[in-house]
Structure 1
Amino acid sequence: MSTTNKACYDLPKGSMEKVAGIDTYVTGDKSSQNAIICVYDIFGFWDTTKQGADLLAESMKTKVVMPDFLREHPWPIDGFPPRDEQEGKKFGQWLETIGNISERVKDVKSVSEALKADGASKVGLYGFCWGGKVASQLAGANSPFAGVAMIHPAFIAPEDAKSLSVPVAFFPSKDEPQNDVDGFWNNLKSAHPELLEKSQFKYYNENHHGFAAARANLEDKSNYFAFQDVYTRLADFFCTVFK
């Protein structure tokens, strides 16, 4: 994977297509036998998130797709965290409707089915923040994915780790609750030792929540190197689970 700053400042290289009826950013080798789905964060499409998908696709020589699961209604980046009680209520309503995790899980399954129908033999999944929670719900029993990755995930539930059925990459930031981070990984180790060999964990305890997606600041040296590092680790993880 490139280690030069220029790679991260390039404009996104992919194109927009329909996948399972959803407008989708598609990047990488479309003839690849494998595919990876990205669930962006609550802020939707963002150049840094797309550039990360480009890096992953290029390093793995595979196809990465980022569907617009929020249907052009992302939460505004300047409205998080909510600035007052009224905005907090609106955010709660948004999470129950547009950002409803159960409904978006159904969408992800549909996209996975469409990719397999189009020839993908194995499909991976990764998500950020809110998207990390969506991804975690698809790593349990009868998961359709070869592996699932969660990057600075929101709403970490240690109990979720007990029901895992596939390897996971777990990359929390300094802003995730330490007890939840430790609880999730400890539950994985105790409940599913058979998944450990292909799973990965790194605690990005010097980087803020959002450093690898919409809230990435690639002009900041620490953020830039963490951004590069997390996509390198994602590539290594998916190469391992696709074998």
Structure 2
Amino acid sequence: MGHLISLTASDTHHFSAYEAGEASAPRALVVVQEIFGLTDHIRAVCDELADRHGYHVIAPALFDRARRDAVLPYDQNGMSEGLALREQISSDEILADVTASAHALSHHGHAKVGILGFCWGGLVAWQAATRTRLFSAACAWYGGGIASVSHEKPHCPVQLHFGGEDDHIPHTDINTIRENRPEVEIFVYDEAGHGFGCNDRPSFNRNARDLAHERSMAFFSTHL
């Protein structure tokens, strides 16, 4: 099981992060939360990456800039509250916390660091790949908003996963990303909706989750 640590961003902001795995692990990942905070699900993802796949993982608590220790329920109220918290944090501040998390992993001797984001974290993972040169690979699951910034060129290999029945991310967005970034690997799971990888959400789809997980692990094995 992982544990909470404290990190400091370049602007002196102190924030919590969930760390799992050993510093001696062969691979390292920053995991980026959904719009609901550092939920039990995100912590379980980190634990699985550490215990089953041998990763050293850090997941920053991005909401700490707006409200410390914010963990929201997987329902419409939680989503609305999460969106309101997100509006209080700039993209530069988010990337500062992601950068501090990557540096913490690098300081443990990891020459390559990847980033894996879910939901809001998927967009953050994309922006980390395009706006920094910290990461050797980036993977995003159902990242909303990527289409609007898909003109930005990633500095590392990127893999994206979307649900074919996602009512938050239309197929036109996926097509826009394909057109703007033909080099990016994109998978669409026809019968899956938004949040299909989270077993705490009604949209959980076991088959889509397992296949996306398998593809993500193969992707990181290749590039990290």
Superposition TM-score tier, normalisation by shorter sequence:
0.7 to 0.9
Pairing 1:209–2:209 present = no
The letter of the residue matching 1:209 is H
Q: 1:186 to 1:57 in 2, by over 3 A?
A: farther
Q: CA deviation at 1:234?
A: 1.6
Aligned residues: 211
Measure the CA separation in 2 of the matches of 1:70 and 1:141: 20
TM-score (norm: length of structure 1)? 0.76
Check whether the contact 1:128–1:213 (CA below 8 A) recurs between aligned residues: no
What are the residue-to-residue correspondences of 1:23-102 with 2, within 5 Å? 23-71=16-64, 72-78=69-75, 79-80=77-78, 82=80, 93-97=84-88, 99-102=89-92
The letter of the residue matching 1:138 is A
Name the structure where helix makes up a greater proportion of residues. 1
Check whether the contact 2:162–2:188 (CA below 8 A) recurs between aligned residues: yes
Once superposed, what is the RMSD of the aligned Cα atoms? Answer: 2.5
Q: From the CA coordinates, give the structure whose radius of gyration is larger.
A: 1
User: Which whole-Å deviations, capped at 9, do the CAs of 1:134-154 have from their partners, x for residues lacking one?
Assistant: 111111155210011110111
Structure scoring higher RCO (CA < 8 A, sep ≥ 6) equals 1
Within the candidate set 208, 211, 215, 1:233 is matched to 215
Q: Which residue of 1 aligns with 2:178?
A: 185
Pairing 1:200–2:170 present = no
Measure the CA separation in 2 of the matches of 1:81 and 1:52: 20
User: Which whole-Å deviations, capped at 9, do the CAs of 1:42-72 have from their partners, x for residues lacking one?
Assistant: 1112222222222333343121121212121
Q: Which residue of 2 aligns with 1:147?
A: 137
Structure 1 portions without partners, runs of 5+: 1-12, 83-89, 190-195
Measure the CA separation in 1 of the matches of 2:22 and 2:83: 38
Check whether the contact 1:124–1:147 (CA below 8 A) recurs between aligned residues: yes
The letter of the residue matching 1:134 is V
Measure the CA separation in 1 of the matches of 2:52 and 2:82: 36
The letter of the residue matching 2:24 is S
SS in structure 2 of the partner of residue 209 of structure 1: coil
Check whether the contact 2:26–2:54 (CA below 8 A) recurs between aligned residues: no
Measure the CA separation in 2 of the matches of 1:103 and 1:127: 17
Identical positions, percent? 27
List structure 1 segments (4+ residues) > 4 angstroms apart after TM superposition.
Answer: 90-93
Structure 2 portions without partners, runs of 5+: 9-13
The letter of the residue matching 2:60 is P
TM-score (norm: length of structure 2)? 0.82
Q: Which residue of 2 aligns with 1:15?
A: 3
SS in structure 1 of the partner of residue 133 of structure 2: coil
SS in structure 2 of the partner of residue 63 of structure 1: strand
User: Which whole-Å deviations, capped at 9, do the CAs of 1:117-174 have from their partners, x for residues lacking one?
Assistant: 2222111001111111111111115521001111011112254254222111100122
Check whether the contact 1:38–1:65 (CA below 8 A) recurs between aligned residues: yes
Q: 1:67 to 1:91 in 2, by over 3 A?
A: closer
Q: CA deviation at 1:75?
A: 4.7
Q: Which residue of 2 aligns with 1:131?
A: 121
Q: Which residue of 2 aligns with 1:170?
A: 160
